Amino acid sequence: MKLSRIFQPRKLSFWILVAFNLLSLALGHITQTYALTGLGTALVIGLTIVNALISTFLAWRLVNS
């Protein structure tokens, strides 16, 4: 398993992985900048977990392709 196989700009899943990484950056910025209510915090935590799971799956597919 080579981690260098993640960088495959010709595959759509690579660019989706990049988009999810940007979403992770935005979610981190939101949690650091804004005082969220309980519902807002739960929503951000849910999105972060889903983001991490999908990103892990896409990275795994890219490495094993």
The whole-angstrom separation of Cα 65 and Cα 61 is 6
In this predicted structure, the answer to whether residue 11 has a pLDDT above a threshold of 80 is yes
What's the whole-model pTM score?
0.80
- How many Cα atoms within 13 Å fall on the side-chain side of residue 8? 18
Rg (CA), the chain: 14
| Greatest C-alpha distance within the chain | 42
pLDDT, one tens digit per residue, over 22-60 is 999 999 999 999 999 999 999 999 999 999 999 999 999
Give the burial string for 17-48 (b: 16+ CB within 10 Å, else e): beebeebeeebeeeeeeeeeeeeeeeebeeeb
